[in-house]
């Protein structure tokens, strides 16, 4: 039996072997990092070593890193913690941001990039202090956003800018200082680390109110005993991601090969965001006449794991607000699937995917031909 292939790295990445080994070792230790005895001091040392590694991944200082349970919590902490009366978010944001209560949404262009003129208009309309949210790279299309330009606009209006950098970390060079973002979110399991661990990286000098009370951990910004094993694993994953400078080129080669062969086989395939800078590992495309759920299920049965254009937390396929914001017609958006490669992907994964996808197209064509052949007989009866 041929191996199943995993092409859903934007949802979650496989745990790296070095991370798994570190997690196993860390889980065998005892000690609360807030305790002053030797066991506690050792746990604290491990946390701070991981903090330095995560900070290095995004060009930050260790003291700028606040560990959280994941990027969703990091985003929520930024939205609430800066206590800004206005929160302006792009139409392309992750659900953890765009679904927050009371946000004002600014539009996107058809190529999948945020409309910064729309952002300017929103900021000029109301002088109250604002927080702008713009992700670095979109989770569905892979389109890279003009974050540095948005930061200039936000700061010119006295606003802060929060950047969800979850999909970009480990795939692009990410530097919080170079972007100028006031804060950015990271997630361990998107870079080969464990689930349930993330970080909010803050510009020095920013005041942040904790989401809840209960302790002074993370310098009072995130109460609760730190998840030491997960944090240690996050640190190892961050160090590996920072050192792996060749992966982007290899991922881009696989993505480009996939897209060229898709369009060659079926010219009607639409590659969403192809006209804009994108993550090297991500392809989101629509296949005429095939809905997304059918494709995902058929490919899964063939041993190929991909995602629909958008999947909610319950695993049900929903209409993509990202593709809608890009002006993609509902029928095309309903047939969009996402293929995302990662650190353990191989060039022959493209072959396996295309073989399964073409077989699905062939079955659809045969079914359509059968229906057409039977239709005249039914009509004459």
- Options 133, 197, 284, 312, the catalytic residue: 312
Helix (H, G, I), strand (E, B) or coil at 297: helix
Q: Which residues contact 88 (CB under 8 A, 6 or more apart)?
A: 103, 104, 105, 106, 119, 122, 123, 130, 131, 132, 133, 159
**Taking phi first (over 0 means left), then psi (-120 to 50 degrees means alpha), and beta for anything else, what does residue 340 get?**
beta
Residue 163 designated active-site = no
Helix (H, G, I), strand (E, B) or coil at 149: helix
Q: Are 50 and 57 in contact (CB under 8 A)?
A: no
Length of the chain: 381
Q: Are 92 and 71 in contact (CB under 8 A)?
A: no
Q: Which long-range contacts (CB under 8 A, 24 or more apart) does 355-361 make?
A: 355/302, 356/298, 356/299, 356/302, 356/303, 356/304, 357/262, 357/287, 357/295, 357/299, 358/265, 359/302, 360/290, 360/294, 360/295, 360/298, 360/299, 360/302, 361/265, 361/266, 361/287, 361/290
CA–CA separation, 22 and 146 (whole Å): 36
CA–CA separation, 110 and 126 (whole Å): 27
Catalytic residues: 312
């Amino acid at each position: 039996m041929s191996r199943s292939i995993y092409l859903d790295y934007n949802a979650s990445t496989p745990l790296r072997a070095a991370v798994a080994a570190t997690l196993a070792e860390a889980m065998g230790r005892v000690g609360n990092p807030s305790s002053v005895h030797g066991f506690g001091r050792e746990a604290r040392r491990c946390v701070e070593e991981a903090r330095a590694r995560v900070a290095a991944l995004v060009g930050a200082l260790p003291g700028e890193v606040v560990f959280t349970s994941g990027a969703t919590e990091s985003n929520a902490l930024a939205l609430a913690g800066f206590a800004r009366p206005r929160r302006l978010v792009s139409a392309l944001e992750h659900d953890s941001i765009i679904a927050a209560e009371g946000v004002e949404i600014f539009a996107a262009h058809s190529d999948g990039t945020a409309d910064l003129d729309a952002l300017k208009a929103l900021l000029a309309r109301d002088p109250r202090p604002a927080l702008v949210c713009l992700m670095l790279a979109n989770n569905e299309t892979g389109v890279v956003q003009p974050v540095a330009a948005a930061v200039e606009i936000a700061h010119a209006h006295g606003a802060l800018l929060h950047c969800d950098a979850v999909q970009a970390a480990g795939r692009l060079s990410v530097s919080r200082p170079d972007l100028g973002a006031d804060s950015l979110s990271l997630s361990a399991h998107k870079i080969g680390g464990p689930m349930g661990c993330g970080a909010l990286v803050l510009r020095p000098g920013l005041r942040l109110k904790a989401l809840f009370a209960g302790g002074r951990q993370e310098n009072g910004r995130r109460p609760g005993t730190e998840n030491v094993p997960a944090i240690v694993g996050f640190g190892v994953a961050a160090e590996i991601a920072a050192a792996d400078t060749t992966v982007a080129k290899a991922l881009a080669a696989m993505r480009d090969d996939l897209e060229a062969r898709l369009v060659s086989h079926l010219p009607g395939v639409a590659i969403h965001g192809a006209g804009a800078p994108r993550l090297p590992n991500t392809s989101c495309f629509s296949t005429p006449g095939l809905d997304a759920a059918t494709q995902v299920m058929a490919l899964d049965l063939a041993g190929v794991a991909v995602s629909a254009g958008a999947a909610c937390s319950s695993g049900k396929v929903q209409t993509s607000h990202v593709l809608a914001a890009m002006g993609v017609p509902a029928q095309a958006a309903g047939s969009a699937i996402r293929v995302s490669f990662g650190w353990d992907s191989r060039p022959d994964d493209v072959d396996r995917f295309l073989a399964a996808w073409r077989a699905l197209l062939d079955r659809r064509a045969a079914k359509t031909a059968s229906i057409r052949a039977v239709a005249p007989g039914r009509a004459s009866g």
